[in-house]
A = this chain, B = another copy of it.
């Protein structure tokens, strides 16, 4: 169904798309940033043809928005889109966590714990962006454990978009403290507690959502004048 992704040699569309994705997920490139074809092509040492394909790939994931004759920009999800992302996650992830709990092997648990450790290390090293990316990877990893490739792809997309949402709507200045929820989830998986995992995931997603500032519509057309005179 999906394309053969085994080809990750440098210079390929897939490799460039992956590198760009990582940069967006780690907030090294922020929403609204323009990705010019020439610029990206020069960086990776390839022509515009292959850059174009990579940009379209990211656009399809929702990370970029391509405007005809204007170029590709890192997406700026609206409040509605932000809500939808978490509503979709609420439908997919709790049940997937349950399935994962029923199938998790000791190797799976070890992998998850390694993820948490790396996340913690990144936070200690003040690499909030990297920590955020790893924290997202934790969620797709659960789908992988549940042996659901299709759902995993959807969750990957939603997690990616969540990263954009966090970049735009994160409330506090301090980093997300997700390690506690993630630890509890790993425990539930370890004990094959499907119902518990489902509930924990549900709560975890609500928790995340509650830390976003999605309440008042941030006036899409907030002109400079309005901002100054208010």
> Would A148 and B84 be within 8 Å (CB), given that A1-B62, A1-B77, A62-B2 are in contact?
yes
Residue from B49, B68, B75, B87 in contact with A148 in the complex, judged by beta carbons closer than 8 Å: B87
Q: How far is the CB of A184 from chain B (nearest CB, A)?
A: 22
CB of A1 within 8 A of CB of B149, answer no
With a cutoff of 8 Å between Cβ atoms, the chain B residues found around residue A96 in the complex are 91
* Given the contacts A1-B77, A92-B92, A149-B81, A68 and B7 also touching, CB distance less than 8 Å: yes
Residue of B nearest to A72 (CB): B3
With A and B bound together, what is the CA distance between A221 and B161 in angstroms? 38
Q: How far is the CA of A66 from the CA of B85 in the complex (A)?
A: 29
Answer whether residue A67 sits at the interface, using C-beta atoms and an 8 A cutoff.
yes
* A88 with B4, Cβ < 8 A, contacts A56-B57, A60-B57, A81-B149 known: no
Q: Is the interface of A mostly helix, strand, loop or mixed?
A: helix
Known: A49-B49, A57-B56. A154 touches B2 (CB 8 A): no
Flag whether A212 is at the interface (Cβ < 8 A). Answer: no
Q: List 7 A-B contacts (CB under 8 A).
A: A1-B81, A4-B68, A52-B53, A56-B57, A84-B150, A87-B148, A87-B151
Spell out A's residues near B (CB within 8 Å): 1-4, 7, 49, 52-53, 56-57, 59-60, 62, 65-68, 75, 77, 80-81, 84-85, 87-88, 91-92, 95-96, 148-151, 154, 158, 161
